[in-house]
């Protein structure tokens, strides 16, 4: 059933062909008085009921949208006087499906530019088509699914059923708008978050994960490897997607909240680092007497940022990365995966973890074996790794203070924000192509908090609005602020 909603200037509502509600009420009344089983079975009845309710919902939403239309001699948008230029029917995608509404469009006086629709500004219409709720649903689906999967999902659920191409354009447009005002709106999101009680530690981490890119110069890199006589297999054509986290812990070391960031490949993770620095600064202002703990693997670029660009704090190399290097060192000494290598690796792993002088004992042992076999360059690299990071491996003291020693939070962020969405079979991405369909579009800011009474964090639990909701709310509010109404002379 198709209808066009409109309202008169006096504000009384009328719907052209709006009989969906009457049909629904009649359908309900008939079923209430019927004693017979619905023809086709219960599934057929459920589908028919859903169809009728959706029709009535669309009719109702269309009327409410029509109330937001403006029929005045003049309106002011972005400080410019606009006058009516055209009246026509516009189609909008609601959560219940498409609706058609009679609307008026205005153009700035003395220009021949694009016209504006006050109805869309007042309703917060996204990308000229989606209502705020429908946009939120569409972006959520595209965050977790491909455009084809999202299209099939909405078709199966009923209600709105945007096409694959429409879904693909939705977050792409949102991403561009968000990026233009990212700094301003990220500050607003920070201000919306409530302070957490009993915060004893602030933790920050930076890492990245390689993602398959269409513009990663895959073939050129492989050809260069062939010419240099190197192995041509491996992640050629991949580029690093940056991820960062800022977490709050209580005095027992339990995590209270985590804010996760991610950015598409960019030079030296520049924007991501600025986002992390701003988030750390905000956290330190909220909790001024709380120590800052920086946790990462041994990558030098990560530590250059964590050490030099952030305020002073306790630096920790992720214990599990350190244990991997320890295992590799003993494999070099005693033979890969040999019984003696495994035994020594486990023994020194416990020393590194529990002994106050653990890292010094590890360094002495590796130095002894390197002196016996000085030509083993790989063993020297492992020894250098521990020497370079010895001040960041005081795990026994850190554990005694209930401070974090692992980078599991940032590793999980890399997995949930990047790997699960971007590294499916056969997928390759462009910088612009990934922004709208991934959970780490440039405006991504995911805040997760631990529900009261739980001893561990559920990553699906969010105390605060999702990034999609926050983004769409700010976009809709910005549109509403753009115009004022004014009677012409």
Q: Phi, psi (5° rounding) for residue 332?
A: -70, -35
Query: Hey, which residues does 246 pair with through a beta bridge?
Result: 204, 259
335 burial (CB, 10 Å; 0-12 / 13-18 / 19+) is exposed
Any idea which of 16-30, 248-262, 273-287 has the lowest mean pLDDT? Answer: 16-30
Which comes out higher in pLDDT, residue 394 or 168?
A: 394
267 burial (CB, 10 Å; 0-12 / 13-18 / 19+) is exposed
Cα–Cα distance measured from residue 271 to residue 316, given in angstroms and rounded to the nearest whole number: 23
251: number of Cβ within 10 Å = 11
Answer whether residue 463 shows pLDDT above 70.
no
Answer whether residue 204 shows pLDDT above 90.
yes
HSE at residue 44, side-chain half, CA atoms within 13 A, is: 5
Q: How confident is the model at residue 5 (pLDDT cuts 50, 70, 90)?
A: low
Across 35-56, average pLDDT: 91
Answer whether residue 233 shows pLDDT above 70.
no
The sign of the torsion formed by the CA atoms of 162, 165, 169, 172 equals: positive
Cα–Cα distance measured from residue 487 to residue 8, given in angstroms and rounded to the nearest whole number: 17
Residues 6+ apart with CB under 8 A from 110: none
Residues 6+ apart with CB under 8 A from 426: none
Instruction: Please name the residue that has the structure tokens 């948008």.
Output: 77
Answer whether residue 472 shows pLDDT above 90.
no
Give which of 461, 438, 444 is closest to 279, Cα–Cα: 444
Query: Hey, which residues does 16 pair with through a beta bridge?
Result: 4
Answer whether residue 437 shows pLDDT above 50.
no
3-state class of 335 per DSSP? coil
Give which of 392, 395, 367 is closest to 382, Cα–Cα: 367
Answer whether residue 448 shows pLDDT above 90.
no
Q: Are 310 and 277 in contact (CB under 8 A)?
A: yes
Q: For the whole model, what pTM was predicted?
A: 0.77
Answer whether residue 88 shows pLDDT above 90.
yes
Measured between alpha carbons, how far apart are the two ends of the chain, in Å?
A: 42
Across 122-150, average pLDDT: 90
Q: Are 367 and 329 in contact (CB under 8 A)?
A: no
Across 241-248, average pLDDT: 92
For 304, the token pair is: 């250059």
Give which of 138, 80, 136 is closest to 106, Cα–Cα: 80
Percent of the chain with pLDDT over 90: 50
Cα–Cα distance measured from residue 345 to residue 23, given in angstroms and rounded to the nearest whole number: 74
Q: Are 262 and 242 in contact (CB under 8 A)?
A: yes
Cα–Cα distance measured from residue 224 to residue 402, given in angstroms and rounded to the nearest whole number: 48
Task: Render pLDDT for 25-42 as a digit per residue (tens, 0 to 9).
Answer: 999 999 999 988 898 899
Q: How confident is the model at residue 385 (pLDDT cuts 50, 70, 90)?
A: very high
277: number of Cβ within 10 Å = 16
């Amino acid at each position: 059933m198709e209808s066009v909603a409109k309202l008169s200037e006096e504000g009384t509502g009328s719907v052209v062909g709006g009989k969906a509600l009457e049909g629904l009420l009649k359908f309900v009344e008939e079923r209430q008085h019927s004693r017979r089983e619905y023809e086709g079975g219960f599934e057929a009845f459920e589908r028919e009921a859903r169809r009728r309710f959706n029709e009535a919902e669309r009719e109702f939403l269309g009327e409410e949208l029509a109330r937001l239309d403006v029929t005045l001699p003049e309106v002011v948008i972005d400080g410019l006087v606009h006058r009516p230029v055209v009246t026509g029917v516009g189609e909008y995608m609601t959560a219940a499906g498409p609706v058609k509404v009679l609307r008026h469009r205005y153009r700035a006086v003395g220009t021949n530019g694009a016209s504006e629709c006050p109805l869309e500004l007042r309703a917060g219409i996204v990308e000229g088509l989606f209502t705020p709720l429908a946009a939120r649903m569409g972006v959520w689906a595209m965050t977790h699914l491909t455009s084809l999967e999202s299209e099939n999902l909405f078709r199966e659920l009923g209600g709105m059923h945007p096409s694959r191409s429409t879904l693909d354009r939705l977050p792409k447009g949102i991403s561009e708008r968000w990026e233009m005002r990212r700094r301003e709106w990220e500050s607003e999101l920070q201000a919306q978050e409530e302070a957490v009680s009993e915060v004893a530690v602030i933790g920050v981490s930076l890492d990245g994960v390689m993602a398959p890119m269409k513009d990663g110069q895959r073939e050129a890199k492989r050809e260069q490897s062939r010419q240099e006589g190197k192995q041509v297999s491996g992640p050629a054509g991949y580029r690093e997607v940056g991820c960062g986290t800022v977490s709050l812990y209580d005095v027992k070391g339990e995590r209270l909240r985590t804010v996760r960031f991610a950015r598409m490949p960019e030079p030296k993770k520049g924007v991501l680092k600025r986002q992390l620095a701003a988030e750390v600064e905000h956290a330190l202002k909220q909790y001024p007497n709380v120590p800052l703990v920086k946790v990462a693997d041994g990558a030098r670029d990560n530590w250059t940022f964590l050490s030099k660009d952030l305020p002073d704090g306790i630096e920790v190399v992720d214990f599990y990365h350190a244990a991997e290097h320890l295992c590799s060192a003993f494999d070099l000494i005693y033979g890969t995966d040999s019984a003696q290598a495994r035994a020594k690796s486990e023994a020194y792993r416990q020393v590194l973890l529990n002994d106050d002088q653990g890292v010094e004992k590890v360094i002495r042992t590796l130095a002894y074996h390197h002196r016996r076999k000085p030509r083993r360059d790989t063993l020297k690299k492992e020894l250098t790794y521990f020497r370079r990071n010895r001040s960041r491996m005081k795990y026994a003291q850190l554990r005694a203070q209930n401070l974090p020693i692992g980078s599991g939070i940032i590793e999980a962020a890399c997995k949930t924000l990047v790997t699960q969405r971007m590294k499916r079979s056969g997928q390759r991405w462009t910088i612009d192509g990934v922004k709208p369909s991934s959970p780490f579009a440039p405006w991504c800011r995911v805040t997760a908090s631990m529900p009261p009474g739980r001893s561990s964090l559920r990553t699906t639990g969010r105390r605060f609005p999702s990034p999609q909701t926050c983004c769409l709310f700010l976009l809709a509010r910005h549109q509403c602020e753009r115009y004022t109404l004014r009677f012409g002379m």
